[in-house]
A and B are shown apart, each in its own frame.
Chain A
Amino acid sequence: MKLPIFIVFAGIAFSGIVYAQNDAPQNSCVSCHEMMGAPYDSLVHAQQADIHGKNGITCTDCHGGNSTSMDYEVAMSPAAGFRGKPKPKDIPELCGKCHANPDYMKQYDPGLRVDQLTEYHTSQHGQLLKKGDTKVAQCVSCHGAHGIYPANVPLSSVYPVNVPETCGKCHADEKYMADYNIPTDQYAQYKTSVHGRDLLEKKDLGAPACNDCHGNHGATPPGLTSIARVCGTCHVNNQKLFQKSVHKKIFDMMDMPECITCHGNHGIQVPSDSMIGTTEKSICMECHGQGDAGYIVAQTMSNAIDSLKQIYHHSEDLIQQASEKDMDVSDLKFELRDVRQNLIQTRTMIHSFDTTQVLDIQQKGMKVGTDLVASAKDLISEYYFRRKGLVVFTLVITILAVLLYIKIRQLD
């Protein structure tokens, strides 16, 4: 009787072992830390699902140790190379072991850059870390450690939409940043800015996040004289015009940060036309005063834009009226786009701070707008013409009908 029972139990135990061995090769780090519950189990699962885990890179590749032994003294022994949780100052080199090695990275993705570590050393973060400041950002601070995804994946902490929040983890924390003497309102300002709203609310990936102006791994604030070039990576014409304008030399001489002087940096808004001109709201008046050359330029440019805007809205309004009267306005709407385009071009031309160029381009828009107003008015009068025509026709018919009626009476 005892032998069969023993065989049965042995069988169960054996199959249990076999079953447990089914997820080969068995990773002892994973099995133990999974069993330990929070917070380890979520870290384990995150790593298994992320880009490292999916490419066969596991715990021991960063932490060292022996993943074949279930005995923690063996698994986590320094002899086996176990590092435990890496220290902040060691992290860049740890990640760089692979990520700065072109031959190694080629196997996984030949297109990946391998200069992040070099760049990092040039950045504020890298320099401070070298000096021993462990509060600054290193690889893990932005990318995470377990659950790392490529930057073009929405799950990634460095996916463009997530970047401002990731940077803001430190840079928006007043207490954390207390020793550094730099503002902590950037994230808050950015969220209200046109770039922030486009990226965070409209999910327009073309809008810049922190790294697009400050750099990623080589992050530094742009130099005073090269700000225009940073903005100019997207706002090409504004930059080109500004570089050729009188303001470029003067701003650089006076240490005024080029674009930022008028537009702000983190809290930058959609520029309003009131920024130009000679009213108290306009920025020109912060340096210029009544009577100087700049004052006249400001006034001229402001008036040019105002007239163009006026004619744009006037024609838009008339076109809408005509369209409500069921006239076909598709041709007119096409021309209206031209006026709108011209308005954009004129506002861009402001950055030349040269009235000749501004007026040149504005004139073209004014002409199209004037023609549009006339055409729309024509359409509206056509509408009234039809109704008047109907009245005439009805009159003629009524008279004829009355006459016919009399004739009928006469015949009877």
Chain B
Amino acid sequence: MSPGRPDKSNTGVMEWLNDRYPIKAWQDFAKKKKVPLVHGTIWYYFGGVTLFLFIIQVLTGILLLFYYRTGSDQAYESVKFLMTKVHFGWLIRSIHSWSANLMVLSAFIHMFSVFFTRAYRKPRELTWITGMILLLLALAFGFSGYLLPWNQLAFFATKVGTDIVGVVPGIGDFMLTLLRGGHEVTGATLSRFFGFHIALFPGIFTLILVVHLALIQIQGMSHPMGMEGKEAEMKTMPFFPNFVMRDLLLWLIVLNVLAILAVYFPWELGQKADPFASAPAGIRPEWYFMFMFQSLKFLPAHILGFEGEILGIMTFGIAGLLWMFVPFFDRSSLRGVKSRKITYIGILIVMFIIAMTILGYILS
């Protein structure tokens, strides 16, 4: 037993396993994994934070399932019941809601840090693509989960959100009906979103997450650009146990932050959804959709003969696709050079997102 490994106290079990499965080979492989020590090392943590928050989501989500009821006549009431009568129900629900937001934030930071360090370059293109899919799924999780309490804000946000989907030319109507389970947002939409949120998305997410993590394990951590060939001189720290310990420490702090948020900023429930009431003032999507929402609002009704909204949505779609395939466009990264163009585009996008998000809140 090597010193500094607090969890391997049970030699007997490990030996038993080792006799049957190539545990030793994995242990050796794990010992080799290294994390570069650079002044950008802090960004290496955000993937883990996102993973941790996802685990929190799954755990609190399962707990919520014990009391949540679907159906437009029971969903809101069951959440109210959760918040008021169930012991610590308020805690589980608020953690679930806050963790969702933090997870999306963390995923964005993780994605942008990978972008700016060009960690997506060869040979890690697939890691980047699976990561982008995971990000999109996280947003889908957020969108579907938001509706589940069936309150006024969620109802109208879903209505607006799915309306936008319907604007896509050709398949828009079909997609809208598919999402809504009908032409309007009703209890059918709720059932569907529930199915998406607890079954379809978790299934796909887990599969792709396993691929994403496996790729990382197989290929190891990406080095900063320009270090090719100089691996031996690079300062690193072992992944096990040093980086893992730091990861755990950070996760503990994140958990504490979640608890503080749950107690001091409990997630509100608001009024039950009433399809016949007028849309409440201040209706808006969750913050991670705000930049799209706000930019669409800015677009004029018609641009060069096309409907502004459709053009806007198509632009976002195409931009997203280009972003997803950036490893194939960024030739410079293959040569080990950070393309200025890519950096500027990245900075522009980040500033655009931040500006639109802020504007979305100020102007509402």
The answer for the CA separation of A102 and B90 in the assembled complex, in Å, is 72
B-contacting residues, A356-412, CB 8 Å: 386-387, 389-390, 393-394, 397-398, 400-401, 404-405, 407-408, 410-412
Assuming the A-B contacts A328-B80, A328-B84, A397-B252, are A390 and B245 also in contact, with contact meaning beta carbons closer than 8 angstroms in the complex?
no
The answer for the CA separation of A388 and B76 in the assembled complex, in Å, is 29
- What residue of chain A has the Cβ atom nearest to residue B253's Cβ? A401
A326 in the interface (beta carbon within 8 A): yes
B263 in the interface (beta carbon within 8 A): yes
Cβ of B256 and Cβ of A404 under 8 Å apart? no
Cβ of B260 and Cβ of A411 under 8 Å apart? no
- Partner of B259 from the list A393, A400, A405, A411 (CB cut-off 8 Å) is A393
CB distance from B297 to the nearest CB of A (A): 32
- Partner of A408 from the list B249, B252, B253 (CB cut-off 8 Å) is B249
Cβ of A411 and Cβ of B266 under 8 Å apart? no
A-contacting residues, B228-259, CB 8 Å: 237, 241-242, 245-246, 248-249, 252-253, 255-256, 259
Cβ of B83 and Cβ of A328 under 8 Å apart? yes
Cβ of A411 and Cβ of B4 under 8 Å apart? yes
Assuming the A-B contacts A404-B248, A411-B241, are A393 and B256 also in contact, with contact meaning beta carbons closer than 8 angstroms in the complex?
yes
A100 in the interface (beta carbon within 8 A): no
A: interface residue count bin: 20 to 34
B6 in the interface (beta carbon within 8 A): yes
Cβ of B263 and Cβ of A397 under 8 Å apart? no
Cβ of A397 and Cβ of B248 under 8 Å apart? no
Cβ of B259 and Cβ of A390 under 8 Å apart? yes
Chain A residues in 8 Å Cβ range of B237: 412
A327 in the interface (beta carbon within 8 A): yes
What DSSP secondary structure best describes chain A's contact surface?
helix
The answer for the CA separation of A397 and B91 in the assembled complex, in Å, is 17
Chain B residues in 8 Å Cβ range of A405: 249
CB distance from B116 to the nearest CB of A (A): 27
The answer for the CA separation of A393 and B84 in the assembled complex, in Å, is 21
Chain B residues in 8 Å Cβ range of A398: 256
- What residue of chain B has the Cβ atom nearest to residue A408's Cβ? B245
The answer for the CA separation of A316 and B80 in the assembled complex, in Å, is 22
Determine which residue in B83, B242, B253, B263 has the highest number of CB atoms from chain A within 10 A of its CB, and name it: B263
Cβ of B6 and Cβ of A390 under 8 Å apart? no
The 10 residue pairs across chains A and B that have the minimum distance between CB atoms: A328-B84, A390-B263, A397-B256, A404-B249, A411-B4, A408-B245, A401-B252, A386-B263, A411-B242, A393-B259
Which B residues are closer than 8 A to A by beta carbons?
4, 6, 80, 83-84, 90-91, 237, 241-242, 245-246, 248-249, 252-253, 255-256, 259-260, 263, 266
Q: List 28 A-B contacts (CB under 8 A).
A: A326-B266, A327-B84, A328-B80, A328-B83, A386-B90, A386-B263, A389-B263, A390-B259, A390-B260, A393-B259, A394-B260, A397-B255, A398-B256, A401-B249, A401-B252, A401-B253, A404-B248, A404-B249, A405-B249, A407-B4, A407-B6, A408-B245, A408-B246, A408-B249, A410-B4, A411-B4, A411-B242, A411-B245
